[in-house]
Amino acid sequence: MTVVTERPGQDQLDQVVRRLRTVLTEEQILTSRTDRYNRARVPAPFPVHRWAERVPDLAVLPTSTEQVAQVITIANELRVPIVPRDGGTGLTDGAVPLRGGIVLDVKRMNQIHQLDLENRTVTVGTGINMLKLNEELGRHGLIYPDDPASYPCSLVGGRIGTSGWSLIGARYGHTRDLVLSFDHVLPTGEVLHVGDGIGHKISKSSSGYQLKHLFMGHQGTLGVATRATLKLYPKPEAELSPFWAFDNYDDAYRCVGALARAGVATFAGAVLFDEWKVAYLRRDDEAYIPQPKDVRALVCAVMYGYEDEVRPAGRRLFKIAKEHGARYLGDEISEGDWAARHDRYATPLHGRTRDGQVVPMSWHCEDAAINYTRLPAVTKAWHEIVAELRRKTDLFDDWGMFAYTSSDTGVDYLTEIDIGIWEQQLNDDAWAEWVQTKRQIAAVALAHDGSISACHGSCREGEVDLVPDELGRGYQLMLDLKRAVDPNNIMNPGKYLLDAAYADDPLAALDALRGRTSHE
């Protein structure tokens, strides 16, 4: 029988609050309905008629590593679930409490502790917002180039907990490359420093296991990062972000591949918009400048660097685009649309006309890591899956697909399909159809030798059922690690099917958990 950490009872909660008052001030302990509900949501839609199931019992606002360690020690001793929450921008419920308990909100740990201009590093509290961090770094001619779609509202700690993906990662790397080290509080309340070797500012070490990567991307199931040292770069002198239009997907697909393989040093990334995405942008995105009907696909590239580097590199990319049938959309559109790249994440609620009335549609995004050569087949299969979902219920829309370069060689692409969901009308039957659709989308990624998720994580019901299939023996090691690091299963319980780690027969328990989620 699987040992499951349950939602705490009232006596247990009263005891927790009494203990917390010995280490936190009264204003750091939040119990009101508003405070709790505000920390129960993420941008990804979920059945609002079941919202109460995902509300924490209280939230805390620690201001230091020491306070985080004390809070987690109390939670561990009293067997109370605890869920880390940073910016709350994740798309797979990493910050959503499934068993109530304590939400540990890190937003007050937002100080810049040390700025090292010589070694080009900065040490910060993980509650700092990257937009605010870069405002300060800009005064010194530096940037921290971790640039997710959620950039204006995501926090450094959340990027560590999800091992985030950056829009300009082909030039600067992703979160795993840019975070040098961090202090981490384990589920027992113990504190360790992880990085390459013992140094806070070392980027490469062969001393022992690479623990930094183990404690990144775990969606809060292995503890909380509290203080991090980050790699900095010179603030770019010049930026070029051309948008090109195509009258068919195939030419655009070949163009984006050629751009990624061109070997241009200042190349920071490229993105391919398919026909469904262009139609959505044309119809429903206030940040987009509408294009003629013959535009069926778009490609955007971006370069950063010194002006004398970017200009010749830009000419090379323009030549490649022209050879693939591209039409340049002009400076106004190119500069404006790239500048608005974060707006679409920050305003995910859109409308759809239905029977002459506009209904609110929430946005959700399923992602995968897909090799370039598999993109056309995956694109076709995903649209077919969503079309079948729409035949069953009109609560869903296909808002098209993106494919982003992940590196300067273009080996694999962050591939995303955006789905509009009439969230207010969801019920258990419609939600079950959506979960099955997510499972099918993930299965296609695996069938094409990809990964279920390139950046969002895959701990939500639906795709999570296929994680053991993707990782194989590696998933069993995840179970072993979870049980060893979190012996009482208090850290973000219920995620990644990791409850199976606490059963006498973990594999049998895993089969039972997968069967349960498959029919919920």
121 & 213 share domain: yes
Give pLDDT tens digits for 114-139: 999 999 999 999 999 989 999 999 99
Q: Residue written as tokens 């056309």?
A: 376
What helix, strand, coil percent values describe the chain, rounded to 5? 40, 20, 40
- What is the Cβ-side half-sphere exposure of residue 44, based on CA atoms within 13 angstroms? 22
Residue 287 is encoded by which pair of tokens?
């940040």
Q: How many CB atoms are closer than 10 A to CB 492?
A: 33
Look at residue 449 and tell me if it is in a domain.
Answer: yes
The least confident of 107-121, 271-285, 455-469 is 271-285
* Residues 456 and 501 grouped into a single domain: no
On whether both 227 and 154 belong to a single domain, the answer is yes
Look up residue 82 and give its two tokens: 């605890």
Position with higher pLDDT, 222 vs 461: 222
CA distance 66 to 71: 9
CA 437 to chain centre: 20
Q: Which of 290, 313, 345 is the last residue of a domain?
A: 345
Considering the chain, what is the average pLDDT of its residues? 90
Mean predicted confidence (pLDDT) in 282-290: 65
The rounded distance, in Å, linking the Cα atoms of 133 and 109 is 13
Residues 6+ apart with CB under 8 A from 365: 44, 91, 416, 417, 418, 419, 456
Report pLDDT digits (tens) over 402-428: 999 998 877 899 999 999 888 888 888
Same domain, 271 and 363: no
pLDDT at site 393: 92
Tell me, what's the pLDDT at 354?
65
Edge-to-edge strand order for the sheet containing 121-125? 112-116, 121-125, 224-231, 179-185, 191-195
Please check whether residues 250 and 325 belong to one and the same domain.
Answer: yes
Residues 267 and 291 in one domain: yes
Mean pLDDT, residues 364-382 taken together: 96
CATH no. for residue 366?
Answer: 3.30.300.330
Residue range(s) defining the domain that contains residue 71: 10-105
Residue 441 lies in a domain: yes
DSSP string, 468-495: HHHHTHHHHHHHHHHHHH-TT--BSTTG
Note the pLDDT of residue 467: 96
Last residue of a domain, one of 314, 345, 376: 345
Q: Residues 150, 128: contact at Cβ < 8 Å?
A: no
Q: Residue 519 — pLDDT band, cuts 50, 70, 90?
A: very low
Residue 69 confidence (pLDDT): 98
- Structure confidence at residue 6 (pLDDT): 83
Q: Are strands 179-185 and 191-195 parallel, antiparallel or unpaired?
A: antiparallel
Question: How open is the CA angle 329-334-340, to the nearest 5 degrees?
Answer: 135
Bridge partners of 234, per DSSP, are 142
Cβ proximity of 337 and 286 under 8 Å: no
- Would 1 be classed as within a structural domain? no
pLDDT band at 265 (very low <50, low <70, confident <90, very high): very high
Please report the pLDDT score of residue 344 as a whole number.
61
Domain match, 203 and 293 both: no
The residue-averaged pLDDT of 361-390 equals: 94
pLDDT at residue 351, rounded to an integer: 65
| Residue indicated by tokens 């409308």 | 351
pLDDT tens-digit map of 87-98: 888 888 888 899
Q: Is residue 160 part of a domain?
A: yes
Q: 361: buried, middle or exposed (CB in 10 Å: 19+, 13-18, 0-12)? A: buried
Residue (of 278, 486, 485, 276) closest to 398 by Cα position? 276
- At residue 381, the pLDDT reads 98
* Overall number of domains in the chain: 5
Residues 243 and 326 in one domain: yes
Looking at 105, 123, 148, the residue that finishes a domain is 105
pLDDT of residue 422: 86
Which carries the bigger pLDDT value, residue 21 or residue 282?
Answer: 21
In a domain, 51, yes or no: yes
The CATH number covering residue 55 comes to: 3.30.43.10
- Does residue 3 lie in a domain region? no
* Contact status, residue 511 vs residue 459, Cβ threshold 8 Å: no
Do 29 and 79 reside in the same domain of the chain?
Answer: yes
Q: In the chain, pLDDT over 90 holds for what percent of residues?
A: 71
Q: Which of 418, 416, 380 has the alpha carbon at shortest distance from 397? A: 418
Q: Say yes or no: 353 and 455 in one domain.
A: yes
Residue 518 banded pLDDT, cuts 50, 70, 90: very low
CA-nearest of 353, 416, 334 to 383 is 416
What confidence tens digit (pLDDT) does each residue in 291-326 have? 778 899 999 999 999 999 999 999 999 999 999 999
Q: Please report, for the domain that includes residue 184, its CATH number.
A: 3.30.465.10
Mean pLDDT to the nearest integer, 485-498: 96
Q: Are residues 120 and 218 in the same domain?
A: yes
In this model, does residue 4 exceed pLDDT 80?
no
Residue 500 predicted with pLDDT over 80: yes
Q: Is residue 278 one of the residues assigned to a domain? A: yes
pLDDT of residue 288: 62
pLDDT of residue 1: 43
Higher pLDDT, 197 or 79: 79
Using CA atoms, how far apart are residues 98 and 53, in angstroms rounded to an integer?
7
Residue 460 lies in a domain: yes
Quickly state the pLDDT bin for 520 (edges 50, 70, 90): very low
Report residue 268 CA to chain centroid gap.
19
| Weakest mean pLDDT among 48-62, 162-176, 387-401 | 48-62
* 285: confidence class by pLDDT, cuts 50, 70, 90: low
Same domain, 116 and 230: yes
